[in-house]
Chain A
């Protein structure tokens, strides 16, 4: 294989028209920069710098927060998203039901009546299971310091 090199004599000569066009573009760019400089003020520069500074700090805190990263991983599953969606729907329905129900009269009879409803029993069962698993998680948190 032979290498071909271009001698200085054969290097491409600059076309004056092309050079003028490039200078014009450079001048346009300089005008743009100067115009931006003239449009700015100390106040604007300070405000932008402050926003950038706070933004960088926030980004730094978020990206170095391992707990948040783990939470995002958990939320990034269809099951978690479905559960959150279900919880949100249940809260909305509960809110509407409470709004249209007459105020509770109180007394043991009312409590017994409510406790006999299958929905109440299902709810109590869910809360009981939630408490069971959550308490395991809390014990783990205090054992390892959250790591």
Chain B
């Protein structure tokens, strides 16, 4: 049985390690072989980028060698897939090699596409890449006061990021003693301040308490860089001195090129996590078109289900679990307080008041992540 894992991010790595643990005997007796194809030999802890943008983490703390995170029985190649041949159960890679498979897991993730909004690249700061996060921090350090606007593109990775960055901005300026010179305005594309209703209910009074203005139904149309104005599809405008953006995202180009899903999101069975029309192809994390958050935690819980099912199919011929849509998100509510949201297809999150212990749990998780991707936690 040849298992091919395409993508070495959070979901792909957890899945491959989980499978290698479950199928240790089968791998040893050469009945199963696990191969991973990735675009990079480095693994990045992506939630850490927000900390980099506020000078709370250095970029080098975000990386580990991918090989050091994988079980030794996994065959690893830095050789991204260039073309999927789903009807022939094989892929071709950048180096020109062909990999055949019996079971494939696609976990290629997502990418930011700020260029889809005119002026967003030139006119805004963001934290969705290492370079951007460092640049944003330097810009924040130089900022001495004025109007800060936060705008949100859709869809985007990490649904909590818009509120987290807003709370962090408030605390950052407060710590620097210039909060009274800064006016923060938050913009959100739908009719409330967050897509998850209970997060919106929780965040609204918090915003009121710390003096953050908000405007809903604001879908970013363009940024007039010269006049420092951000305009919405709905016809409203906001002037700014510093614009922070959560850029819109898309799936990987290879998914769109091979017409496997609109916007690079692959149509996926919400319970089995198989690609629609292909029972031997599973999809994980951001790559799915599922109505769940595009976060590492969704990828994590999905990876556990997929690993258990692939393993049980090999051992007893049938899958044993369904994905229930579980997502767990930490929410940093400033420099030293945090809470969390846990939800699934059936149950919305029930947010508790933020506290310091949850903040430390999050700080701990920033380090425990590496144990998590190794398939241990």
Docked-complex contact B376 and A45, CB < 8 angstroms? no
Contact A57 B370 (CB under 8 A): yes
Q: Are B370 and A49 in contact (CB under 8 A)?
A: no
Is residue A7 contacting chain B, with contact meaning CB distance below 8 A? no
Check B364 for interface membership: any CB of A closer than 8 A.
yes
B374 at the interface (CB under 8 A from A): yes
> Nearest Cβ distance between residue B318 and chain A, in whole angstroms?
27
**Residue contact A45 to B364, C-beta cutoff 8 Å:** yes
A48 to B365, CA, bound (A): 11
A33, closest chain B residue (CB): B357
Contact among B30, B359, B371 for A53, CB-based, below 8 A: B371
A45 to B336, CA, bound (A): 12
Interfacial chain B residues near A52, Cβ < 8 Å:
367-368
The answer to whether A49 and B28 touch across the interface, beta carbons within 8 angstroms, is: no
A137 on interface, CB distance cutoff 8 Å: no
- Residues of B within 8 Å of A56, CB to CB, are 371, 376-377
In the complex, what residues of A have CB within 8 A of residue B56's CB?
A: 42
Rounded to whole Å, the gap between the CB of A51 and the closest CB of chain B is 9
Chain B interface main SS type: helix
Chain B positions within 8 Å of A45 at CB level = 360, 363-364
Interface presence of B147 (CB below 8 A):
no
Give the chain B neighbours of A42 by CB distance below 8 A.
Answer: 56, 336, 359-360, 363
Query: Are B363 and A50 in contact (CB-based, < 8 A)?
Result: no
Q: How far apart sit A49 and B359, CA to CA, in the bound complex (Å)?
A: 13
Q: A57 and B356: CB pair below 8 A?
A: no
Contacting pair B28 A46 (CB below 8 A):
no
Q: With a CB–CB cut-off of 8 A, which chain A residues contact B344?
A: none
Task: Check A57–B364 contact: CB distance below 8 A.
Answer: no
Count of interface residues, chain A, beta-carbon cutoff 8 Å: 17
Q: Contact string, A37-62, partner B, CB cutoff 8 A, digits 1/0? A: 10010100110111011101100100
Give which listed residue, A37, A53, A60, contacts B368 with CB less than 8 A: A53
Please classify the interface of chain A as helix (H, G, I), strand (E, B), loop, or mixed, using the class held by over half of its residues. Answer: helix
Q: Given the complex of chains A and B, what is the CA–CA distance between A46 and B30 in angstroms?
A: 40
- Name which residue of chain B comes closest to A144, CB basis: B28
Structural contact, A57 and B376, CB atoms closer than 8 A: yes
Nearest-neighbour CB distance to chain B for A81, whole angstroms, equals: 29
CB-nearest residue of chain A to B356 = A37
Q: Is the CB–CB distance between B367 and A50 below 8 Å?
A: yes
Interface string of A99-125 (1 = CB under 8 A from B): 000000000000000000000000000
The reply on B129 being an interface residue by CB < 8 A is no
For A50, give the chain B residue with the smallest CB separation. Answer: B367
Q: Which B residues, 325 to 364, have Cβ-Cβ distances below 8 Å to chain A?
A: 336, 356-357, 359-360, 363-364
CA distance A126 to B356 in the complex (A): 66
Q: Does A16 count as interface, using CB distance less than 8 angstroms?
A: no
Q: In the complex, what residues of A have CB within 8 A of residue B371's CB? A: 53, 56-57
- B366 on interface, CB distance cutoff 8 Å: yes
| Inter-chain contacts of B336 with A (CB < 8 A) | 42
Q: A49 and B364: CB pair below 8 A?
A: yes
Chain A hits for B30, CB < 8 A = 145
Question: Once bound together, how far apart are the Cα atoms of A147 and B371, in whole Å?
Answer: 27
Top 4 nearest A-B pairs by Cβ distance?
A: A49-B364, A49-B367, A50-B367, A53-B371
Q: Give me the interface of B with A, judged by CB distance under 8 Å.
A: 21, 24, 28, 30, 56, 336, 356-357, 359-360, 363-368, 370-371, 374, 376-377
Q: Which residues of A contact B (CB under 8 A)?
A: 37, 40, 42, 45-46, 48-50, 52-54, 56-57, 60, 64, 145, 147
30 cross-chain CB contacts under 8 A: A37-B356, A37-B357, A40-B360, A42-B359, A42-B360, A42-B363, A45-B360, A46-B364, A46-B366, A46-B367, A48-B364, A49-B365, A49-B367, A49-B368, A50-B367, A52-B367, A52-B368, A53-B367, A53-B368, A53-B370, A53-B371, A54-B370, A56-B371, A56-B376, A57-B370, A57-B376, A60-B376, A64-B21, A145-B28, A147-B28
